[in-house]
Structure 1
Amino acid sequence: MSMETDMEPAEAESFLKSLLNKNLRIYTTDGRIFIGNFKCTDTHNNIVLSLTYEYREPPQQKLAEAKAASSTSGADKVALDMTSRYLGLVVVPGEHIVKMEVEEFSSQAKSRSIFERRDLYSAR
């Protein structure tokens, strides 16, 4: 996976530091999703997450059974939960990462802005 960016090294380092200890959602080439706390990365774009959960789509057999059941009942859509398991500390290989998202809730954004304001006032 090649990552092209217009960031200077100092900007990239600052951006990565801003992600430390935030929850990331990482999508991989095999369809799995890892949600965990970002700890570090390396020059190969590998990502280390702690307190990680892995989510997978249901097996094809369950999808087929659910579709068959919905067609007999006349439903247009099928909803199945993803399976999940707790993994703890994991390394997600950079070559298998398709997409990454920061998982942030509105309460965290408000809290962060309060802390940022506090830091601005304490710097004066």
Structure 2
Amino acid sequence: MDKIAAKAEAEEFLKSLLNRNLRVYTTDGRLFVGNFKCTDTHSNIVLSLTYEYRQPSQQKLAEAAAAASTSAEPGKSTVTADMPSRYLGLVVIPGHHIVKMEVEEFASQVKSRSIFERRDLYGGR
């Protein structure tokens, strides 16, 4: 694949992500969930309607572990702790802080997309 075709494919992929919900993980352990609006040549990401989730503090983890150990069945070692969140709205996430990005899809979205793909395969529009 030549450079021009690769660039066109990359642009098409980015366009397919526009207005979709993304989960963006950052180097400091935060998770941002929002609607993808744009990016730039430095891989900065702009999300709208964004929520920020943080890892629980060490104190909260210790409390959750203590609560789990007192009420847990023998041999069961699962600890759950809530991630505190807050609404941010429109955010820019610097590209050099992005660790991982995921497209958030729900079963209903996957099903609807497959209906549209089948429609396109059979020529209906």
TM-score (norm 2): 0.82
Q: Could you say which residue in structure 2 is the equivalent of 1:12?
A: 10
Looking at structure 2, the residues matched to 77 and 50 of structure 1 have their Cα atoms a distance apart, in angstroms, of 34
For residue 124 of structure 2, give the secondary structure of its aligned residue in structure 1: helix
For residue 9 of structure 2, give the secondary structure of its aligned residue in structure 1: helix
Q: Could you say which residue in structure 2 is the equivalent of 1:80?
A: 81
List aligned pairs for 1:79-98, cutoff 5 A: 79-98=80-99
> Which sits farther off after the overlay, 106-115 or 87-96?
106-115
- The CA deviation string for residues 74-105 of structure 1, in whole angstroms up to 9 with x for no partner, is 63232111101111100111000000000011
Corresponding position: 1:65 with 2:63: yes
- Amino-acid identity (%): 75
Structure 1 position 118, deviation (Å)? 5.8
- Consecutive unaligned residues of structure 1, counting only runs of 5 or more, are 1-6
> Which sits farther off after the overlay, 44-53 or 59-68?
59-68
Looking at structure 2, the residues matched to 12 and 78 of structure 1 have their Cα atoms a distance apart, in angstroms, of 41
List aligned pairs for 1:1-124, cutoff 5 A: 8-71=6-69, 73=70, 75=72, 76-116=77-117, 117=119, 120-122=123-125
Looking at structure 1, the residues matched to 60 and 10 of structure 2 have their Cα atoms a distance apart, in angstroms, of 43
Looking at structure 1, the residues matched to 38 and 98 of structure 2 have their Cα atoms a distance apart, in angstroms, of 15
Structure 1 position 46, deviation (Å)? 0.4
For residue 35 of structure 2, give the secondary structure of its aligned residue in structure 1: strand
RMSD between aligned residues: 1.9
TM-score (norm 1): 0.83
For residue 85 of structure 1, give the secondary structure of its aligned residue in structure 2: strand
Looking at structure 2, the residues matched to 92 and 70 of structure 1 have their Cα atoms a distance apart, in angstroms, of 35
Looking at structure 1, the residues matched to 109 and 63 of structure 2 have their Cα atoms a distance apart, in angstroms, of 40
Looking at structure 2, the residues matched to 105 and 29 of structure 1 have their Cα atoms a distance apart, in angstroms, of 26
Size of the aligned set, in residue pairs, is 115
Looking at structure 2, the residues matched to 24 and 80 of structure 1 have their Cα atoms a distance apart, in angstroms, of 23
